[in-house]
């Protein structure tokens, strides 16, 4: 054989010897999807529709249409339309700290992603964890690398699901023309995704009877609403709230302002008029005018009084992990102070925001739920970042997510990642994280996750930052 023929033959032999990777296929109620088996052995399915997409703008999501040929589920779908408010300096900062890299976005965004362990599943399937992203109900994307579920699925043998949902005016329009029960399309997206998990996750080796929902920031705030106003039948049996908060107000006023800016005020149906405006024009308008769209308190998907739902026992009776970060306020103190991190006022502002917006509300919610007979496990994450997207970040807002998913690039998260992820998975498996005593109202304990070790701390942790003085205000705000 000529050298050339030899080479060709050798290449052919190599190709024949390569293992024939059979792509994993799963059946959903609407049709089959084909994902891919990663080198780790985890099966990854990206961009599965859980609703008809694109949805009618501002409309309630509908069940997806059926298909027959296997859907290619090997690529992420775009995120929903995001809102990052101007001025540009602050806008850039917010994106850089919370939303990197920037994702493609579209109204055609109602998709979810699934990572499934490849090994044999226990009877009934692996426990399932469903992640709801934060972003102040203004932005967010299930496709961000920090939320990648491969390592969680691999190391803890859980099926990891993360979902997109509409935010800002697209998710929470505040239009008086929307029918009762359909005021908050973004929350209806979350609920439809959870319904999809119930109907379909068994095909991905998941156990629909063992679903834990978890989220951070406005994702945790969403989890709180789902617990307070549980869907029926209940699509989860445990919940985790990481740095629960949502800081948007003024939805009705914002809607009026947006109608004016788009010349829709005097249209026969302002809602129909706004549906015809290009999405980019709406996005640009709300970003430049800083228009906030908070969910309507319809008592169907958002309650104005979380505390009462726990007191009356109407909240879902599920075990809860509730926590916050030791420096949750640092990024926001920076934004309030014009991004001058060297300002003498910065440390005090950061501490005040941490206490007022995060730690004390977490303490109050945990205590209130415990008093109402719920099993609550509380933590404070306190690993100071050695390098962060801004100075003096400390244990900044959202820094724990890389530890929970084990997607971090920071070596200081190496130990705590195992400690947190293990307990999150414990909750998913048994409803009770090992070696973590429950909260007794007013007494703690709080599990402090540190860089080198974890410690159980008593109520002095909250006393030190003045939570007692704030108690009445936090409760008055309905939790
Ligand atoms: C914001 O980011 C964009 C894109 O990276 C850049 O072109 C622009 O100069 C930045 N603006 C400010 C004020 O930093
Ligand atoms: C960590 O770094 C790698 C390599 O630069 C990058 O691909 C990955 O997206 C980073 N992880 C996160 C969560 O940003
Ligand atoms: C609204 O109407 C005014 C006056 O007719 C016009 O100048 C403006 O371009 C319109 N704005 C939009 C967003 O259509």
Residue located nearest, by CA, to atom 8 of ligand 3: 263
Cα–ligand 3 centroid distance for 260 (angstroms): 9
pLDDT at 291: 98
CA 24 from centre of chain: 26
Please tell me the least confidently modeled range out of 109-118, 371-380, 463-472: 463-472
Query: What's the mean pLDDT when you consider all of the chain?
Result: 95
CB 96 near ligand 1, within 6 Å: no
pLDDT at 457: 97
Q: Is 250 exposed, middle or buried (0-12, 13-18, 19+ CB in 10 A)?
A: middle
In angstroms, rounded to a whole number, what is the distance separating the alpha carbons of residues 165 and 362? Answer: 24
Task: Please report, rounded to a whole number, the percentage of residues in the chain having pLDDT higher than 70.
Answer: 95
Angstrom CA distances, 183 to 58, 206, 249, 293, 310, stand at 9, 32, 15, 12, 23
Cα–ligand 2 centroid distance for 322 (angstroms): 27
pLDDT at 1: 52
Copy the structure tokens of residue 369. 């739920």
Residue 20's pLDDT band, with cuts at 50, 70 and 90, is very low
Rounded to two decimals, the pTM is 0.94
Cα–ligand 1 centroid distance for 89 (angstroms): 7
In angstroms, rounded to a whole number, what is the distance separating the alpha carbons of residues 440 and 310? Answer: 15
* More confident call, 434 vs 32: 32
Residue located nearest, by CA, to atom 10 of ligand 3: 263
Residue 5's pLDDT band, with cuts at 50, 70 and 90, is low
Instruction: For residue 402, give the ligand nearest its CA.
Output: 2
Q: Give pLDDT tens digits for 238-271.
A: 999 999 999 999 999 999 999 999 999 999 999 9
Q: Cβ < 6 Å from ligand 3: which residues?
A: 262-263
Residue 19's pLDDT band, with cuts at 50, 70 and 90, is very low
Cα–ligand 2 centroid distance for 215 (angstroms): 21
Our mutation pick for probing the ligand 2 site, out of 97, 388, 409, counting the most ligand atoms within 8 A of Cβ, is: 409
Residue located nearest, by CA, to atom 2 of ligand 3: 263
pLDDT at 170: 99
Our mutation pick for probing the ligand 1 site, out of 88, 93, 102, counting the most ligand atoms within 8 A of Cβ, is: 88
Residue 477: is its pLDDT beyond 90? no
Residue 55: is its pLDDT beyond 60? yes
The residue among 380, 374, 362 whose CA lies nearest residue 447 is 380
Which superfamily, per CATH, for 25-247+299-477? Alpha/Beta hydrolase fold, catalytic domain (3.40.50.1820)
CB 338 near ligand 2, within 6 Å: no
Residue located nearest, by CA, to atom 4 of ligand 2: 409
Report which ligand 2 atom has the smallest distance to the Cα of 402.
13
Residue located nearest, by CA, to atom 9 of ligand 2: 145
Cα-based angle 201, 196, 29 (whole degrees, multiple of 5): 75
Report which ligand 1 atom has the smallest distance to the Cα of 92.
1
Q: What is the mean pLDDT of residues 50-62?
A: 98
Report which ligand 2 atom has the smallest distance to the Cα of 146.
13
CB 65 near ligand 1, within 6 Å: no
Q: Give pLDDT tens digits for 217-241.
A: 999 999 999 999 999 999 999 999 9
In angstroms, rounded to a whole number, what is the distance separating the alpha carbons of residues 479 and 476? Answer: 7
Instruction: For residue 389, give the ligand nearest its CA.
Output: 2
Q: What is the mean pLDDT of residues 42-48?
A: 98
CB 148 near ligand 2, within 6 Å: no
């Amino acid at each position: 054989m000529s050298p050339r023929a030899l080479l060709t033959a050798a290449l052919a032999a190599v190709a024949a010897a390569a293992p024939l990777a059979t792509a994993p296929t799963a059946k959903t109620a609407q049709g089959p999807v084909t994902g891919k088996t990663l080198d780790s052995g985890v099966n990854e399915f990206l961009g599965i529709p859980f609703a008809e997409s694109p949805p009618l703008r501002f409309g309630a999501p509908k069940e997806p249409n059926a298909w027959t040929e296997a859907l290619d589920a090997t690529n992420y779908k775009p995120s929903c339309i995001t809102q990052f408010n101007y001025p540009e300096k602050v806008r850039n900062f917010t994106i850089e700290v919370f939303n990197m890299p920037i994702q493609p976005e579209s109204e055609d965004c109602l998709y979810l992603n699934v990572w499934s362990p490849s090994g044999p599943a226990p009877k009934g399937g692996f426990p399932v964890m469903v992640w709801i992203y934060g972003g102040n109900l203004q932005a967010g994307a299930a496709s961000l690398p920090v939320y990648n579920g491969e390592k969680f699925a691999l190391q803890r043998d859980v099926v990891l699901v993360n979902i997109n949902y509409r935010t800002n005016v697209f998710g929470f329009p505040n239009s008086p023309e929307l029918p009762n029960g359909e005021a908050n399309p973004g929350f209806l997206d979350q609920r439809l995704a959870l319904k999809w998990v119930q109907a379909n996750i068994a095909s991905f080796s998941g156990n629909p009877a063992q679903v834990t929902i978890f989220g951070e920031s406005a994702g945790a705030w969403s989890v709180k609403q789902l617990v307070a106003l549980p869907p029926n039948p209940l699509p989860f049996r445990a919940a985790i709230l990481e740095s629960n908060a949502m800081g948007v107000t003024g939805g009705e006023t914002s809607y009026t302002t947006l109608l004016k800016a788009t010349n829709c005020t005097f249209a026969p149906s302002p809602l129909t008029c706004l549906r015809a405006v290009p999405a980019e024009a709406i996005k640009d308008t709300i970003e430049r005018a800083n228009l906030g769209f908070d969910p309507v308190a319809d008592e169907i998907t958002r309650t104005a009084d979380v505390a009462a739902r726990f007191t009356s026992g109407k909240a879902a009776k599920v075990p809860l992990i509730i926590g916050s970060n030791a420096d949750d306020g640092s990024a926001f103190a920076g934004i309030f102070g014009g991004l001058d991190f060297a300002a003498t006022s910065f440390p005090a502002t950061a501490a005040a925001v941490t206490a007022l917006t995060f730690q004390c509300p977490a303490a109050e919610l945990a205590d209130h739920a415990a008093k109402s007979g719920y099993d609550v496990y509380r933590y404070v994450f306190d690993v100071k970042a050695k390098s962060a997207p801004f100075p003096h970040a400390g244990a900044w807002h959202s820094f724990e997510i890389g530890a929970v998913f084990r997607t971090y690039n920071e070596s200081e998260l190496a130990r705590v990642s195992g400690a947190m992820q293990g307990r999150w998975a414990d909750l998913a498996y048994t409803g009770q994280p090992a070696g973590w005593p429950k909260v007794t109202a007013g007494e703690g304990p709080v599990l402090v996750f540190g860089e080198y070790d974890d410690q159980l701390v008593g109520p002095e942790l909250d006393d030190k930052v003045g939570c007692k003085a704030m108690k009445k205000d936090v409760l008055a705000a309905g939790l």
